[in-house]
Amino acid sequence: MKRRTIGIVAYGVGNIGSLERSLGMLGYRCKTTTDPDTLSGSDLILLPGVGAFPAAMEELNRHDMVGFLQDRAQSGQPLVGICLGMQLMADRSDEVRPTTGLGIIPGYVTALENAEWHIGWNTIEAVSNDPLVRPSHGRAVYFNHSFAFQTSSDYTIGVSRLDETMAPFVVAVRRENTVGLQFHPEKSQAAGLQLLSDVIEGLCRAA
């Protein structure tokens, strides 16, 4: 079997080391770069992200990655955003100040309701039959965020809850070969590695 290559967008915002180690444990080859040719030649592009939305968009623009990522998503190349990387795929965010996002998956990013922060382990609820997250239904993964992706049910494949009395919020989205994960699979031990593998393999087979 061909050893898949994952292109990690190295725009200065993200847990690159953790991702590289996790992907290496799964047997993938990583190329961490902002070189368009290298990323385009990868089997899948991974967009990490930590911190604030406006600062991350500034860095994507500075590295000429905005139009590139939009084109790659439109072309059908598998693309995965993790944590802030997922939120950047939205049309806009009101974190810190109103900021335009990549506009790859329709929606917007706003502060979590009834909580200042969501940090720690929580379970995923698969809300569709999408094979990328359905096997992880009920598994616990690691979160660290205070803003959430608001989108329609057409693009929602996974949700979570702060507790059983509260409404769910979106933690996994998909539009064709683009997927966003609000949690950190690279920090979620065996459950996260399995989910990351399911997402990568599922998208690459569908491409």
Q: In angstroms, what CA-CA distances link 54 with 49, 97, 98, 99, 189?
A: 12, 7, 8, 6, 30
> Which residues, in sequence order, are CB contacts of 181 under 8 Å at separation 6+?
80, 81, 82, 83, 86, 171, 172, 195, 199
Question: Among 30, 95, 145, 184, which one carries the catalytic annotation?
Answer: 184
| 10-residue averages of pLDDT along the chain (207 residues) | 89 87 95 97 95 95 97 98 97 96 97 82 93 95 93 96 84 97 94 96 92
Identify the active-site residue in 30, 59, 83, 95. 83
- Cβ atoms of 77 and 177 within 8 Å: the answer is yes
Residue with tokens 């769910």: 168
**Tens-place pLDDT, residues 52-71:** 999 999 999 999 999 999 99
CB 159 within 8 A of CB 169: yes
Within 10 angstroms of residue 22's Cβ, the number of other Cβ atoms is 22
30 assigned to active site: no
Residue 204 is among the residues annotated as catalytic for this protein: no
Q: For residue range 111-143, what is the model confidence (pLDDT) as tens digits?
A: 988 777 788 999 999 998 899 999 999 999 999
Residue 64 is inside which H or E element, if any?
none
Pairing state between β 108-111 and 147-150: antiparallel
Q: Among this protein's residues, is 145 annotated catalytic?
A: no
Structural element, H or E, at residue 185: none
- Distance, first Cα to last Cα, the chain: 16
| Residues 6 or more apart whose Cβ sits within 8 Å of residue 94 | 108, 109, 110, 111
Q: What are phi and psi of 206, to 5 degrees?
A: -80, -20
Neighbours of 201 (CB within 10 A): 15
